[in-house]
Amino acid sequence: MLLEGKRILVTGGTGSLGQRLVHRLLTGEMGKPAKVIVFSRDEAKQHEMRLSFLHRKAATDEIIYENSQQILSFRIGDVRDYASLVAALRDTDVVFNAAAMKQVPTCEYAPFEAVQTNVIGAYNIVRAIRENNLKVETVVGISTDKACKPINVMGMTKALQERIFIEANRDLPNTRFICVRYGNVIASRGSIVPLFIEQIRNGGPVTITLPEMTRFLLSLDRAVDTVFAAVKEARAGETYVPQVPSAKVVDIAKALMNGRKIDMVFIGIRPGEKIHEIMISEEEVYRTTERNGYYVILPILPELRREPLAKSALSGEYSSEHNNLDIESIKKLLENASDEIKFFTNSKT
């Protein structure tokens, strides 16, 4: 069990992915950690999460409840603040860097704020390990499909985060820096699904940018599965990408309407948005392999690759434009993620 007895730091741990990741860590499926520390800058979100994990005991969550009492702790801090990161990393074995500015329009209007969190925050982790000779074993950078052929600030900063972590493997051989890259998480805050649910609940209209727009879809648990697969198998500098379905945004809205007559309004593309998302570009295809159901992008720096790629796992770029689900398949996917959707549409954290 890879995380048995490990001290784990989750930056941005109060976010949608962070909370689900912490929940899964507390089940002990990867081994029971010695400590799980939620590191974030919002004390209100930490307070709500603390109440959720430490005081709401349910029969089905007995193990999580007990492990929360024993090993879960919270720490106020910001990845932008080097000193607070150094203090948090001193007794850490594994870091999951989920701290991010991730709203595309927000990043367009506040680009340097995105740089501060997504780029400088990542560099501060590397710098803290390097300058203080910290014994961190693994750092996992949580990235996004928008980092692939980026056209928006959010994607550009996440692409730089990936490169910062990958390059760090060159002079910090005792720490394994790896990344995961995935698309639209169904239940995360700011995602189209919670937005559509709220609009439908209010009687409409449902606002859609363009009729041809497509997105990859995956549940929070599928995102965490990808993170855990990378921890188990990824070599230094590799990026793990899940094999997940995609859909037209119009069809996602229709699936959620489920036959109800609700108006759809097309509002035009927002600042920084793509029509189709790409998880693996055609330039990355030549160094992409497949491993146990995941695409694995080998490091862009040749000196970090352990062996030459015998054969690419893809013949072209991995884009949401292709192989879209029909409406019935989308409904089934949403039904499977219904518990996550319910939690994060009702959550105040």
Show which residues are catalytic: 146
The β-bridge partners of 179 are 141, 239
Q: Strand 206-208 vs strand 264-266: parallel, antiparallel, or unpaired?
A: parallel
Q: Strand 288-291 vs strand 246-248: parallel, antiparallel, or unpaired?
A: unpaired
Determine how many CB atoms are found less than 10 A away from the CB of residue 154. 25
Q: Residue 10 phi/psi, 5° resolution?
A: -115, 100
Three-state secondary structure call for residue 188 = coil
The β-bridge partners of 180 are 142, 240
Residue in the block written with tokens 């879809």: 217
Q: Strand 35-40 vs strand 278-280: parallel, antiparallel, or unpaired?
A: unpaired
Three-state secondary structure call for residue 217 = strand
**Distance between CA atoms of 151 and 128, rounded to whole angstroms?**
30
**Distance between CA atoms of 66 and 64, rounded to whole angstroms?**
6
